[in-house]
Structures are given as C-alpha cells and as structure tokens.
Amino acid sequence: LLETLVAPDDVVAVGQVLARIQAGAGGGEDRGPRTEDGAAGGGAAVAGDGAKASPVARRVAAAEGVDLGAVSGTGAGGRVMKADVLAAKEAGNGAGPASAGEATVLRGPAGMLAKAMEESRSIPTATSFRTLAVDTLDAKRKALNGALAERGTKVSFTHLIAWAIVAAGRQWRSMARSFEERDGKPNVVDHGAINLGIAVDVEKKDGSRSLMVPCIRGADELDFAAFHSRYEELIRRTRENALTADDFVGTNITLTNPGGLGTAASVPRLMAGQGTIVATGSIAYPPEWSHSPPERVRTLGVSKVMTMTSTYDHRIIQGAESGSFLRRIDELLSGADEFYEDVARALGLDAGVVTKAHAASASAPPLASAPTTAAPPSAVHEAPGEELLQAVQAATSLLKAYRTHGHLSARLNPLGGDGKGDPALEPENLNLTPELMGRIPASILRIGVPGETLLEALPRMRDAYCGTIAYQIEHLSSHRQRIWLREMIETGAHRAPLANEEKRVLLRRLIQVFQFERFLQKAYLGQKMFSIEGLDSTVPMIDEMATIARKDGGEQIVIGMAHRGRLSVLAHNLGRSLESIMAEFEGAKALDAVKRTDALRHGGTGDVKYHHGAEGLFESAEGDVRMRLYPNPSHLEFVDPVVTGGARAAQTERAGPEIHHDTKVAVPLLLHGDAAFPGQGVVAETFNLQSLDGYATGGTIHLIQDNQVGFTTDPQDGRSTPYAADMAKGFNVPIIHVNADDVEACIAAIRLAMAYRAEFSRDVVIDLIGYRRYGHNETDEPAYTQPEQAAKIRQHPPLSEIYAKRLLEEGVISGEEVETAAAERHEQLSAILKSLRAKIEAGEFEDPTITGGTGELDRSKSPAVETKVSEKRLRTLNEELARFPDSFTVHRKLRKPLDRRLEVLDEGPIEFAHAEALAFASLLTEGTHIRLTGQDSERGTFSNRHLVLHDEKTGLTYAPIQNLSGALAPFEIHNSPLSEIATLGFEYGYAAASPESLILWEAQFGDFDNSAQVIIDQFIAAGESKWGQTTRLTLLLPHGYEGAGPEHSSARIERFMQLGAEGNMRLANPTTAAQYFHLLRRQARIKKARPMVVFTPKGLLRLADAASRLDDLTEGTFKYVLDDPEASRRPDEITRLILCSGRIYYDLQGHDRRADAAGVAIARTELVYPFPKTYIAELAAGYPNLEEIVWVQEEPANMGCWPAMRWRLPDAVGDETPIRYVGRPERASPSEGYPAAHRTEQERIVLTALTG
C-alpha cells in the first residue's frame, strides 16, 4: 500500500480511487493463509519482501517455479534480479514434483499471451455495457456487399464495428491512452494515434486453439478502404502463421469478438500498455422475444441487438468517458454523421448505395425498435398515433432549446435574480404533457443525462444546462465539437464530485484569499489594491488549471491579467512572498531601505504594485508548474497578444535546424474584465490568431472576471450583447458561464475548458460572473452610481463563508476547523508585517523584486560585435539560398532574378533583399533562431524578398533558407493577418520569452505602425524602465517619400525619436545593403538586448547606388555615421556640411547641381538613436573651415528627425557653427497627396540644400 487517498469516515463516490497499491509488490508479514512450509497458499512462492525482487525476477520465478525466498540477490541492497532466478533454477531450486499429467511449455505468441494475461492482473479495470440495435448495421452491410459483389470483396460486421471504434476513438482519444509509472510517479501516456488490436481465434491443425492479437497501427489516420486492406492482410498472415513480433507492438485499444462463438457478453482482460478493450457479443433478438415467431418479431419491427462492453483502465479513464465512447459507437453504427456513406465513398462506391438501404424494422414503430425499451409481446402497441409522433418531434425541439438557450434560465448571478428564461424551454408551450413525456423513451432522443423517459430526463437536462454553470456551444460550426461538448455536459464528466479532503483544501484556499484581502485593507486603509473579493474563485480555478496542465504534460502557465485581484494571484498562485507585497504598500520607507542595501533590480521608474509581473512555481500533486504572470500597463487587454506570444515561445523547441512546437508544454491564460472584453478591439484581434499557423498556441483559456460593472458604467451602457462573452461566439469559441459563488461549479468549468483545449487545441471562454465588493478601487464609493447593487453586496456574505456553511451542512468540516484556519492565516500575516516593519526601520530590508526610483537604466556600452562573414561562407550560403528541388517549378518571372543572385557575388551589386537573406543565413549557421512575421513578409511588400517560393504548377511552397545544410537554428517566416496590435504584441511576447532569438516584425508600410501605438509606447519603449523587461524585438518599417501619399511615406520617425531615452532602444535608417547586413547581424549578436526599429527603404531596394559589393560584407561593420567619401579627401575646401538620414541622400548626391556645390559635403546619420554624439562631433571637426551645418530631411519640420536633432546637434558640435534646417515646413499631414506636388517640393528641398 503506497498511499491512502481518503480519510476515515469519508463518504466516497462510486468509482472514486481510495488508495494506490504498488502493482506486483509482495505483501508484508501477514499476507493471508500459509502452508506449513511458510509459502503463501497456492502457486509459486514469492519473495518475503516484494521490494527485494525486481518485477521481471518475480515473473520469471513464477513461470519457472523458483522460490524467491531461497534466492540470494546480487542487485542493489540485495535485490533479486532475473539472472539470480535463472542461476537458482540451474542449481536445482525449482518447482516441486510436477502435478500428474503431461505439461506443455507455452511458446511463441501463446507464451507471450500468457505472460500478458499475468501482467493484466495488476490493472484496476472497470467495464461499461451497452446494448446496440443492429438492424441498420445489417442492412448497410448487405447493401455494401451487394455493390462489391463483382469485385469479390466483402465487408463483415467486424470490419464495420472495428471502424466505428476507430471513428469514436478520434472523438474520445482518452480511451486510447495508457498508464505508466515513471520515476515512481503515475503518468498517463498519449500515444498520438489509435493502434487497434484485433483478437483472432486460431484453430491449429491438432485442434487446439490460440488467441492472436495483431495490431493495425495508426488506424485513425486511414480511410476505410486502407483500414479494410490492412485488416484483411493481418488476418491472412495470422492464418498463415506469418506474423512477426512487430505486428503485436503498440496496441492501445483492442477489439475481441467472442459473440462469433455465441457468447452474449464478455468482460475480457485488459493488457498492460492499453487503455481499452472492446468486446462484442452475439447478434440476436432480445431475450424476451427469443421464443416469438420470427414473422411476428419482424412485423413489429423489433431489432436484433448486440451487447458491447468497454473494459478500461480505471486509473486514467472514467466511467463517463467509457459510456460516452460506447454511445458514440452506437450512433455511428446507427448511421450518424454519414458513417456508412463515408465507408462507401472510401471503397469507391456511390454513397447512395447505403443511403437507400433501410433496416428491416425501419417501417415499424420507432418506440418498438429501441432494444432498451422493447416490451414483451403482450404489451406491444401497434404503430404510434399522430399525437405521439408530434410529441417526439416537440421533444427534440425542447431538448435543442435547452442546449441552445438553457443559459437564459441559469442561476448565474451571485447577487440574485435568475435568468429571464425563454418560452422555448417550457414543455407546455410545445404541448408536451407529463403523460406524453412519460411515453417518450429517452433512448431515442440521443441525450446523455440519466432517465428512461423524457419525463425522467428533463429535470436532469435542467440541472445540466440551467444551474450555476451554463453553456453556449450550439453556435460552433464543428459538428464533432458540438457532439463532444454535449456528451461532456450531459454526462457530467467534468463535474465529478470532489472528495472530502479536496473540499477541505478548497475551503482553506478561500479562507487564505479572504484573510489576505481583508488584512491588507485594514493594514493599508485608503490604499488602492483592486480587491479580488466577489471573484475569489479565480484563485482555486488557476490552481486547478495548473494541476490539470501538469497532469497532461504541461510545464508552464503563462498569464495575463489586469489589476482586479492581481495581488491575490501573485500571492497565492505564483507564490510571490507576502513580505514583498506588503513592502510595496510601505512606500518610500521600503524603497529607501532597498536602496541602502543596493538591492534594486534595475533603474528606471518602476510601476505600481498591481502592474508587476512575476514568476513562481506552483506545487501540484502531479509536480511543479512554472507560473509566469506578464507585466502589463493600465491599457486594458493589450497584454493579451503579449501573453500568447510568450506562450508560443515557451512551447517551441528552437535547438537544431527545425522548429518543434508542443502546445502541451505551456498553456496561456488570459483574465479579462467584463467591460474591456467586448470593448477593446485587441481582444478580437487576439482571438483571430488562435488557429493561424504562425500564431497557434493550442488554445488559450479566457477567464472573464465579470463583476457586472465597468468602473461606474452599467453593462447596458457598455455593450450591445446580453453577456460580456458574446463577442467570442464570432470566433467559433465555446462559452462557459459560471456563478462565482459556486466554487465547485467553477472548478468544473476549468476542467471542461482544459479538456476541450486538450481535445481540440482551440480557445475557450469562461465567463465568471461575480461582483466587486468595493468600488473600482478601495477609495471609490460604488453607491454613487450603482446604489441598489452596492446595497446587495454589503449584505452578501463572502465566498469563504458561503462554502464553509455548505461543508458544515455536509458534515465535511467542523466550525472549529474553520475558525482555526482563519485565525492561523491572520496570525501569519500579522507576523510577516511586524517583521517587515522592523527590518525597514533597521535598514535591513532587501527585496530585489521592488522596482522604482529615479536611477537611470544601464547606459554602458556593449563590447564591439564582429559582423563580417568570410567570403567562403557567404558563397556557400548564397548557392544554397538559390537551390530548390528539381521537381519544383519556380515562377518563370522569378527565375531570372533568383539566378542573378548567383552571379552578383562576383559581378555585383548585392541589393537589400539579397544582403538580408545572407545576413539571416549566416546567423542561422551560427545558432541564432530567427522569426520574421508581417503582412506580406514571405514575398515582401515590394516583391523584394521571396524567401518562400511557390511552385507555379502545384502551388506548393519551398523555402531554401529553411533547408541550409549548416544551419544550427531554425528560421521561421509567416505572413501575418491584417493586424498591427495583436501581431506586434505577439512578437513582443515571443521576444521577451526568447531573448536569444532575433524576432522581427515587419509593417506593410511604416505608416501603419501607429495602429499598434499602445504596444510601442507601453511595452517596447517603456518595458525596461517600468518592469526591467527588454527584448531584441526588431521592427522593420518601410519609410521614404516617393510621392505615394500621406499614408505610404512616413513611419513617423519623430515619435520613435521622442520615445528614445536612457538607451531604451535603437533606431536606424540604413542607406546601403551592406549597412543593413551588418545592422541585422549586430542586433542578433550584441550582448545587450534592446528593441530596434529599422526604417527600411522602399525605392532604394533596387537602386544600384544603394547596393553593395561582396567585400562590403566580408569586411567592416555597421557605421553609425557615413562621411562623404569624395569631400573627406579635401576637407579644407568644405564650408557647408549637409547632414541627413535616409533616402534623401541619393536625391542630393544624384542631383544635376551636385557638381556645382564643390564646397558642400553630404554625410548620413545611419543610427539616429542613441544619438551618435561622438561620431557627429568627429565628423564636423574633420572639416576645419565649416561655416554652417544644414540638416536636410524629406519630412515636415515637426516630423522626422529634426525635432530631436535641433537640440542634439548643438550639443555635439558646439554653438560656434550655425545649424539650420532645410525640408518641408510644419504640416498636419506627412506628405503631399499628389505626385506632381511631391516632385515640386522635393526639388525645392534639394536645390535649397545644395545652393541656398
């Protein structure tokens, strides 16, 4: 006995696990009756101490008759091993005298089966039974065989039953999982496929029989024709004794058919490593009809039936799942979801062959055709009348209404006032009387709740759909998802009763949360803390989510949330120390103490206590789970895509040349506000990412903390829908509504959400409907704007009190235990606060998690970075970048420019896109993971990149850069949806979670980056100062004035220049391909990670003057400032220095009047922030006769670099040299809307700069 899971006198549910026993272990000293010689009664002897013999040794000893008690062990600690048993056997320690009779050693498959049977004895199993009508199966089978007659092929009952098991297994994949103990811990193993074993009874030549169970591996990946072929091949080789050991490996579901021998029902053994074994009984009429004349039975439409059993491993599979699995098999064999039509199509037949085939009983009364309700002959009625048929039709409408509108009658509001209901939920409105409902068998209505008739089942449907938990699922477009959810809801698979100890633990958690909140409010009266009270269930829901995630193989929960309840989540779910949380309320005293100990994590401004992120470990029974709460601003919901991006990074294995993405590893959890969820567009943008190849995370759990008011705005003023969650229906997402005062229903909601995510890898929404006990914060008076609601809340007991009362009534806990738990928590909090204040007073408090103050961020320079690449390497990479399979047909217009890239290394020039590809490829071979996303990034907005090629004939894609022979890291590239907020936020989150990666986000045009201004302002620019969070995220923003109009010219350089402070980011405007090459490599390799914005060119992409040569890449590095190469050779002649940034340099240098301006030097500032002060100063000092410096730009005077340069340039060059501006005047719009006006203005700027 390893562990007892229930306490004495506990009331336990049927099927609940009571204890864990080590399988195969020996007992203690008292193991039961013994024979005189001390061996356990009957059979072979076992070791006196089971722990001293290995499982293999025990099995060998049992098979060979060796007394383990007399065997000396050579293993660790004297453990008896297999070799010890075999040695003992050879020495004569074997079985006693053989029993009378001839013994035959079981060899080969028979011996394997015998051993497997022995092992099966250690598996705790349970069995579900179901009786199926088979007339439809018989009719469809005959129709198929009639159509196949000319081919000489037949379809048997077993073929179709086996295929139905596979199809049902696709929906109930838990039936194909298995149990395994690893490192002493129980594990559930998901094999990723349904491997169906077929039990075959083989009669040998001597008349003896043996059982073979060969396996059809990956059966769920086949269509029926392939399945049928594999099945027949296995049977043939079984009969011919041609099976190999490999044919028996991997089975996780087995089908056995003892019914073929006349067995009515069977409960077979479940083999180790399997989840389920299905047995089918004989096909016959129900016993009550077995002696009736066949003609009368057929006339009455009574169907033949077959009993099917599902025996399953009860450690990992529950009865509700097994029952639902059998129900799904029944539905499919009854013709649901075009089961037989799909079979026909797979066999190359017209689906009409089976559609037209009807069971022999099809014309009989529908009530009599249901085997579970068929009455004996004396009670059979003739065909039901019109009234009953109409009642059955009304019953289906009623049940559909419950599934669709049941939530409208649910008890979801903790403050009272049940749902308004819906007339469609009332039986009388459908003319359904109790008498009629009592005559309608529930079995014909395909519902999962218990009950023989509709009258018995209807109250249970109300409980399922109209209680304190309710559902909106019927809007889902996937039939399979709807069916799965109905099964879960109606069987209550997610609402398994909690054990008494689980209830006690849950109550203690709620008491901890309540005492924490009340203590802080009393200790720090008047301070804002955005209490969780009214939504206390949030904490145990996150606990349950983490536990389930760990059980399913998860390692991390990635969380995003606003301020409501954040402190409780930090304290309870993430384990942040209570002392550090209290220190945040102590204010300046705590901060001064931290400064004195030099324990501040970083400089910067810090942030308010309810914006902080944190990481911690959650300890569950299944193991530790890392909890990561992302920091976020007060801009509600903008953290949503950041979290999903972080989760994607956590799920992705980036070692090696290929990406490996496992959605089980990390689960994203977003806690939303009820006003912000429908109000903020970023929520919808984030939902849209859920199934996209470059952004999918296997499903996000969305938990709406619905306190029924937004600051002071009532719901009717804040949204146009009944529920805050309704917006999610547009994204094919199920919605679970739950009353926050029913904590056990809240746990059930999380269980269902996690099960749905595991099954379908999609988002799910939980609408947790509660209230807030105070105003928006503790200083607000809610009665000013919601007086009635505030009055109800004042009288409403806290959740811990409500649940304690419930458990007291159930006899689960005593009043003394409740009082003790509350007192202990209060004492703990008081002691921590007392100790904290003493430390602060003594100047001894150290807590690096506290941020804030006026210290600047780290401004130290990073060591120089090597960015050049050898010619040999570049040539090798260049060849591979232009290589694709012989069978791949590149578009004829693309072939020539791609071929040209092979030549330009020798002849030049290397354009921007080519240099970019070489930079990326070189980084991949150095082990840097790269991820590039944007609205047209695969091709490039300007048809410049073409990293992903499309086969002109097949449409298939191929990316040479993802197939480099020397790559040590993967390259990801994805076209993004037409979104800026969510996609940029996603990449920020990914970059924050993967600081070693080069993550690039590209705007279609730089002008559109302001759609994501909140992400830029609050996260990218300020993240380090507020939260100490920085990244290498690189923005590629096409920028340049080329007459394309106000929305296709400017990436708003001025805004980024304004945000630049304390070295928080890098802003670059490269004007040559080589500069871009070195810049990208520098960003990936530099030690100090900072975000970077690159104002990428448009017109320069193919400009010959902006291209580079091979030696520009094999030598040099990124230069902050580029001097005038011609003027710098005659510095004494220069009187005017033009400084500019970006493409206008080529307009200036290429103008006809440039030759006349001999006294003018034109230099470029390639790095515009951090401001290259030293380099500018050295540049100006190199021209001793300067009379003026002119800043020239295309942008208006209130935009571009000038607003920052006008005060930064004098700081670099001094006040002696005049500085003036040439460019567009101040404008409200970035550029002219007419090309002709653009050209006129551009000409004026250039001429003024050169000659003015």
Strands 1034-1036 and 949-950: unpaired
In which region does residue 1138 sit, left (phi positive, over 0), alpha (psi from -120 to 50) or beta (all else)? beta
In whole angstroms, give the CA distance from residue 710 to residue 776: 8
DSSP string, 577-608: -HHHHHHHHHTHHHHHHHHHTT--S--S----
In whole angstroms, give the CA distance from residue 520 to residue 570: 14
CA 173, 178, 180: angle at the middle one, nearest 5? 150
DSSP string, 345-397: HHTT--THHHHT---TTTTS-TTTT-TTTPPPGGG--SS--HHHHHHHHHHHH
Residue 950 bridge partners (DSSP): 957
Annotated active-site residue in 159, 191, 228, 314: 314
With beta carbons less than 8 A apart as the criterion, state whether 510 and 525 touch: no
In whole angstroms, give the CA distance from residue 832 to residue 586: 13
In whole angstroms, give the CA distance from residue 294 to residue 285: 10
672 tagged catalytic: no
Our measurement of the distance from residue 175's CA atom to the centroid of its chain's CA atoms, rounded to an integer in Å, reads 22
Within 8 A by CB and 6+ apart from 1152, the residues are none
Dihedral of CA atoms 1109, 1113, 1114, 1120 in degrees, nearest 10, equals 120
DSSP string, 938-962: TT-TTS----SEE-TTT--EE-GGG
In whole angstroms, give the CA distance from residue 646 to residue 628: 9
- Main-chain phi, psi angles of 324, to 5 degrees: -70, -35
Q: Residue written as tokens 């021998």?
A: 261
123 is written with which tokens?
């598996």
The one-letter amino acid at 412: L
3-state SS class at 713: strand
For 453, other C-beta atoms within 10 Å of its C-beta total 19
Q: Residue written as tokens 């390639």?
A: 1166
Our measurement of the distance from residue 712's CA atom to the centroid of its chain's CA atoms, rounded to an integer in Å, reads 34
DSSP string, 10-48: ----TT---EE--TT----S--S-B-TTSPBSSSS---S
Q: How far is CA 386 from CA 383, 390, 396, 986, in A?
A: 9, 6, 16, 59
1100 is written with which tokens?
């320069």
Measured N-to-C along each axis, helices 339-346 and 224-239 cross at an angle, to the nearest 10 degrees, of 70
In whole angstroms, give the CA distance from residue 1191 to residue 1179: 14
For residues 411-441, one letter each, b for 16 or more C-beta atoms within 10 angstroms of the residue's C-beta and e for the rest, the string is bbbbbeeebeebebbebeebebeeebbebbb
In whole angstroms, give the CA distance from residue 149 to residue 127: 38
How many residues in total does the chain contain? 1252
In whole angstroms, give the CA distance from residue 50 to residue 69: 10
Helix (H) or strand (E) holding 249: none
3-state SS class at 736: strand
Number of H helices, E strands in the chain: 40, 36
Q: Which of 595, 591, 574 is nearest to 583 (CA)?
A: 591
For 833, which DSSP code?
A: H
In whole angstroms, give the CA distance from residue 162 to residue 216: 11
In whole angstroms, give the CA distance from residue 626 to residue 575: 11
In whole angstroms, give the CA distance from residue 1122 to residue 1162: 9
Q: Which residues are catalytic?
A: 314
